[in-house]
Amino acid sequence: MPLKNENYDLSKKVQKIIDIAGELVDATVGPQGPQGEQGPEGPAGKSGDSGFGSIVNFSQYSPQPAGSPGVYMIVPVANGEPEGITLTQQAQVVIPYDKKNAGVGLWINSTTSGYAITLGLTNAPMPQPSFPKEELNLSGAGEIFVAPGSIFPLNLSIGETNKSFTITTPSGIPIKKTVTSKVPVTRSSDWTWNGTEFRPKGNAVDAAAIMPIEYSKDKIVWNGNRLVLDKNDYQSLASAALNTDFSITSDYQTSMVPAGVRLKVKCLIPAGGTGIIGMIGAWGTGEVTLKYNWTDELTVYLSSQAGGGDVRAGTNRLINRGSVQTYEVLWENDLTGKGGYVTFFLDGQQASDRIDTEFKPSINATSRVYIGSSHGNVNDAIPGFEFESCSVSFTKIEDAKTYQAVSNGSISVADLNSLVVDASAITSAVAQRNLTYSTSDGQGYTLGITIGEMTIPKYRAYKAVLEDWSSGVGVLHPNELVMTKPVAQNVRFEDAALYGAQAAWTEVVPQGSCPNINGINYYCEGIRIGTYVQFQFFYDWDESKMPANPFGDPKDNESYMVPHKWLIYDAEGNMLGRVELPNGQPLNSASIKPAWEGTWDGVGNAMITSDNPHFNSGTVRSSVIWRSHECEPYSKTDVWKRVPVFDQRVPFACYTGYSTNGTDMRLIYGNNGQQNGFGNWQVMSYEPTTYEEIQQLANEAGKKLPYNLLYYSRGVVPNAGIFLKYAPFNQMGRSPLTGPGGVRDDRQIMPEMVARYALDMESTHPMTGVSMRKIALDYLTGYASDPYHALEKGRPTPVYKGNARRKVTLRNHYYGPGEMSISPSTAWYIQSGRVSEWVRGSNPLRVSGTSGSDNDPKRPIFGTNSIDDAHAHQFPHWGSLLFKSPEFAFLGHRMSDQPRLYDNNILYSYYGPGNITQRSAAWKFAHAALCWKTASKGSTRLYSRDEMLDWVVFDFEQFYDSSYASTPGILNPPTNVMKNGQIDENLLIYAACARFGLANAGLGNREGIHTHDFMTGYWLSALHMAERLGFNDAIRAASPKAKAIMDWLVAAHRKRIVGRIKNPLINSRYAYMTILWTNEQIYASGGDVSKLPQTFEEVDMAQNPRCRTWDEVYDRDNNGNPIWDRRDGQACDQMLAGPALLKDMGMTGSDLDACVDLAEQRFQQKLAEQTALGPDNAGSSWFLYHQATNNRPIKPTN
């Protein structure tokens, strides 16, 4: 143990220390003295341990760094206490058994009273606090707390039931039912000149909807306080997008139609001038345009996608052109009729009758206010127009809540669900009193109600305190987060099975303000279920940095939190836990770089060492979870009833280096960024390891396991620095940054290790032997680390909660900046850009591209994460079906928002029917199914079932009208697929779907009409999963049109699977793209569908060459030379599993039964072939990408 320089300066006094230690120390180094007699030989050490210690000057034996004295103290180590020593002072450290690099540090300092020896632990964290831990009890207390002066919902229900109830309310605590009514609410905004621009004030439009002067200063002319707009110089004014929010419906007559619109413009119209005064609108959506007509009267033009027309005032009374006047039009909606009513005003006085209108205007989020032009076109502008100010008002029908007292006795389900505690008139605490309710069959329930603050017993988590380590020393932040403020209580899942299985929970937030450091808020949200407590720590910018958070451009904001820890205390001040890195350092430790810096091996893998480890740094929108107990798992019986389980029979699946999710862009940015897929979880360690240790683990495992192709050094080293144990900001290798061959997490409907656990709940990790239950739990918890947990108004509320068609969008993703028509204040910036741009700074010869997000490779914004809808396969929701906690659903509903932000449609598209085979649509449908399964009406952090069905059914009905029952459409396919001599892709899809079930177009001349097999396979996986969850039936029950689409989707997959299995020699390009009609065939037929192959068998016979066997494909290389390749991959696995999936969904028929048998024969053929290759080579030429969910399903046996 090294001694500090100060100790070396005190070397003359070291002998005194030796005297204190007596015979335990043999001093071999000290001040030069006379030669003494040889000392006696020391006693032998115990059990092989050294018996003596000494102080040694190693400078006599080896070179030392500058400034080092080379003096070390050698300390003997032995089990037990030293004999013959009486200790008057002592210090103790505990070296953890599982910390192989832990050590003890010892040094000496002089003090005024003597010498102080400091003893400390190195390379290991301080043990977590020890305290009497409560037994896990998820039954809950059946009690809610309501603050005096507030109104709080009771969330009473007993799941899906139509039973009648009887209720008895407590005395002294008012219980009322909620009555919701529709009321008109009007909001206004005004634009006036502020010396720089026309900026809106008010609450009708986005504050960013400014109206700048966008022509050169030398062209700006003012007449007093009025801006002169010169038509001849193309001068006009236009605001930014208004970001209004009116309900989108499937009926053009009502979609985005406000209850009322008022446009008011103060201006001067020159004598004789006619033309446009102002308008509100968006191109292609609708508008309200006020103009002074050539008929010498005010006129308004109203339009929507259903049509439009003019409404004239019928008089020019009060108009005085040549003077400043305020021109105004008011349109009011007839909520039950086709149109509405228009009234004109001049200078605040009514200038027309209330005129009936035939049309309704549509106003959407991209609508703008234009002055002196129509969408910027000045052809109809008024020459010499002088503008002073304007205002707009919108009226919207909104819900208003009132509360009515209820009496003891019979109560309906609807009223029961709406009950609240009305403590608005109560000013002091009221002790617990009980409310009881029972069903008509006598089943009773009791809920305790307390007016006052929540009480927390000793040794149960009460508060979280931020410890700021930015100075290098932990400093407690004064804003303690006392987690006793309920925002939702007595909350349950809506699903009938989960309602009974998952205990009611309480959602809590802090009583006071959260800590804020450098413009970043440090938040906490909690769950309480009986003795179980979970805290989730969030980080996001405050309003000074992001006024519309989570929307707005964060480009110049610091996104990394300071080094910090979280300390958990009970109500009496006992520390219950610390949230820190696995090595005891603070989160975002200053000693650990956001992107790893060190040595890479010859192929770009980080050579992690114990002295240079890597732990992920957190950015805003990452989160951290602390639990009082490990989550309790559901039984195998429960899991197999609720969760799709798949027969995983390939012991060497994904056994090559082709699939390496064991990477993270923060570890490999010095490499080429081309790792892909998900397979090497099998050779990820559970605990943090080094470059050398991961190889040792793999080599040892390879000697014990029956198949060992995967367990070789070069194949496992990408996983150095990656580990599966949950730790703050650990993503277990997930870094879902889109790119050609770029880093992805596992592309399936359930994470691999979760699917393994669901099948065999007693299984262990093949390399480490760690329980798969523990790994599945940790992996699902790790989704908290992914930086998508943004907060809106300080809460992690789902983005579309309350409005399934909210007009928001995603920006700065891989495929471009995103929709630019709406304001940045409604755009969620993921800010990662492209892999090539991000890597460019470190590897400029490997990549190219134009910078879009200005990322620093050594300090990546949001840690390189970005999700677009094509790669939205992140499903932590499963955790709430495997473990008894809603927290995984919380994570999942947030992840489900990401693909919706990219595009909030599933099947429907303005451009046509192409989504029917797109993976992006499949992932969104899977997200919808899982959100529906884990929905809750009472939660503030989850969608309700009604909200999820609103989204999906609306989408399916739109698809029904636009692509399914349309002419042409899927029900009415065309006879010719060409227009004006060119192939029409939509007509091509309609015609092919009628014959082959599913098809897609648009990938170049060679592909023609085709099925992209693994993308279509994702769709079948999603449909099967949704069928097992009950979601498909919920869609069928919601709407006749939605039912028609649901049934057609399943039938279309059936037609495709049966056709492909029965005709296995059909060639596929890239092993996963099946060409049905080539463009050459289509042009040769003149587009006449009857002259093209009509069945899969005809497609097979028309191909040249045909495949020789079912397991190969024919293609050509870049030089046009013919090549044969294997068909193995996700697409093949999905195809072979397809018949069994369809059978599990309730499909029947002898043809499907035959396909089940054929698929199984082919699977067994390949399993036998690979097994025959032996332990060292099995899995080397088939099952290279074989994932758990791409297998036949297992039906529950009980």
Provide the token pair at 111: 């003090």
Give the tokens for residue 933.
Answer: 């399964």
Rg (the chain; Cα; Å): 35
The pTM score is 0.89
- Tokens representing 316? 């020019």
Measured in residues, the chain has a length of 1198
Q: Tokens 């305290």 — which residue? A: 131
The 10 Å CB-count burial string (b at 16+, else e) for 1133-1150 is bbbbbbbbbbbbbebeee
- Are β-strands 368-371 and 237-238 bridged in parallel, bridged antiparallel, or unpaired? antiparallel
Q: Which two tokens stand for residue 87?
A: 């200790």
Closest CA to 671 of 713, 717, 710, 709: 717
| Inter-residue long-range contacts of 1031-1038, CB under 8 Å, 24+ positions, other chains counted | 1031/928, 1031/929, 1031/932, 1031/933, 1032/1145, 1034/932, 1034/945, 1034/949, 1035/949, 1035/952, 1035/953, 1035/956, 1038/949, 1038/953
How many angstroms from the chain centroid is the CA of residue 238? 36
3-state secondary structure of 439: strand
Q: Using CA atoms, how far apart are residues 389 and 408, in angstroms rounded to an integer?
A: 58
Q: Which domains are seen in the chain, by residue range? A: 5-122 (no CATH), 143-180+402-627 (no CATH), 182-400 (2.60.120.200)
The alpha carbon of residue 916 and the mean position of all alpha carbons in its chain are separated, in whole angstroms, by: 23
In the prediction, which pLDDT does 690 show?
93
**Which is it for strands 143-146 and 444-451: parallel, antiparallel or unpaired?**
parallel
CA angle at residue 454 from 450 to 460, to 5 degrees?
Answer: 135
Q: Give yes or no for a contact between 820 and 962, defined as CB atoms under 8 angstroms apart.
A: no
Residue 229 Cα distances to 237, 276, 371, 548, 1031, angstroms: 8, 12, 9, 33, 57
What is the spatial distance between Cα 235 and Cα 215, in angstroms, rounded to a whole number?
Answer: 7
Contact 954, 973 (CB under 8 A): no
Amino acid in the structure at residue 1096: F
Rounded to the nearest 10°, the torsion over CA 635, 639, 642, 647 is -150
**Backbone dihedral angles phi then psi of residue 490, each to the nearest 5 degrees:** 55, 40
**Which of 1073, 1072, 1178, 1180 shows the shortest CA–CA distance to 1129?**
1072
Is cis: bond before 633, omega within 30 of 0? no
Query: For 368-511, where are the alpha helices, taking DSSP H only?
Result: 413-417, 496-501
The two tokens of residue 296 are: 């010498």
For 971-1039, the three-class secondary structure string (H helix, E strand, C coil) is: CCCCCECEECCEECHHHHHHHHHHHHCCCECCCCCCCCEEEEHHHHHHHHHHHHHHHHHCHHHHHHHHC
In the chain the first and final C-alpha atoms are separated, in Å, by 62
Q: How far apart are CA 47 and CA 76, in angstroms?
A: 12
**Phi, psi dihedrals of residue 896, rounded to the nearest 5°:** -70, -20
How many CA atoms lie within 13 Å of 363's alpha carbon, on the beta-carbon side? 30
Question: How far are the Cα atoms of 491, 496, 942 from residue 936, in angstroms, in the given order?
Answer: 7, 11, 6
H-type alpha helices, 878-918: 879-882, 887-902
Asked whether the bond before 383 is cis by omega within 30 degrees of 0, the reply is no
DSSP state, residue 1083 = H
Work out the number of other CB atoms within 10 angstroms of the CB of residue 323.
Answer: 10
Q: Are strands 809-811 and 827-829 parallel, antiparallel or unpaired?
A: parallel
Mean pLDDT by 10 residues, the chain (1198 residues): 45 47 44 59 46 56 59 59 68 71 73 78 81 89 91 85 86 96 97 94 94 84 93 87 90 90 97 92 94 88 92 82 94 92 95 94 95 91 94 96 96 93 96 92 90 96 98 97 97 94 96 97 98 98 96 90 98 97 95 86 81 92 97 97 96 74 60 47 91 92 92 78 93 68 66 95 96 97 95 97 93 76 88 56 39 58 79 94 98 96 95 95 98 97 97 98 97 97 95 97 73 95 98 98 98 98 89 90 96 97 89 84 86 96 97 98 98 95 92 82
Which tokens in the block code for residue 947? 């909200």
Cα–Cα distance between 913 and 966 in angstroms, integer? 11
At 70 the pLDDT is 63
Q: Which residue has 């399936």 as its token pair?
A: 748
Which amino acid is located at 929 in the chain? Answer: A
Specify the pLDDT at position 48.
Answer: 40
Q: pLDDT at position 285, please?
A: 92
Tokens of 851: 């910078």
Mapped onto helix, strand or coil, the DSSP state of residue 372 is: coil
| 109: nearest Cα among 122, 119, 99 | 119
Q: How many CB atoms within 10 Å of residue 445? A: 14
Determine phi and psi for 646, rounding to 5 degrees. Answer: -120, 145
Output helix, strand, coil percentages for the chain, rounded to the nearest 5: 25, 25, 50
Q: Is 885 exposed, middle or buried (0-12, 13-18, 19+ CB in 10 A)?
A: buried
Residue with token string 């070390």: 72
User: In angstroms, rounded to a whole number, what is the distance separating the alpha carbons of residues 610 and 102?
Assistant: 10
d(CA 1087, CA 1080): 10
At residue 928, the pLDDT reads 98
Q: Which helix (H) or strand (E) holds 774?
A: helix 772-781
- For 19, the enclosing helix (H) or strand (E) is helix 14-21
| Residues 359 and 339: beta-carbon distance below 8 Å | yes
Angle, CA of 965, 968 and 969, to the nearest 5°: 45
pLDDT value of position 849: 31
pLDDT of residue 666: 74
| 3-class DSSP string for 1119-1138 | CCCEEEEECCCHHHHHHHHH
Backbone φ and ψ of 108, nearest 5°: -125, 140
Distance CA 1164, CA 1153 (A): 17
How confident is the model at residue 1087, as a pLDDT? 96
Q: Determine the pLDDT at residue 443.
A: 83
What is d(CA 1079, CA 988) in angstroms, rounded to the nearest whole number? 10
**Secondary structure of residue 1117 in the 3-state scheme:** coil
- Where does 799-944 have alpha helices with state H? 835-839, 879-882, 887-902, 919-933
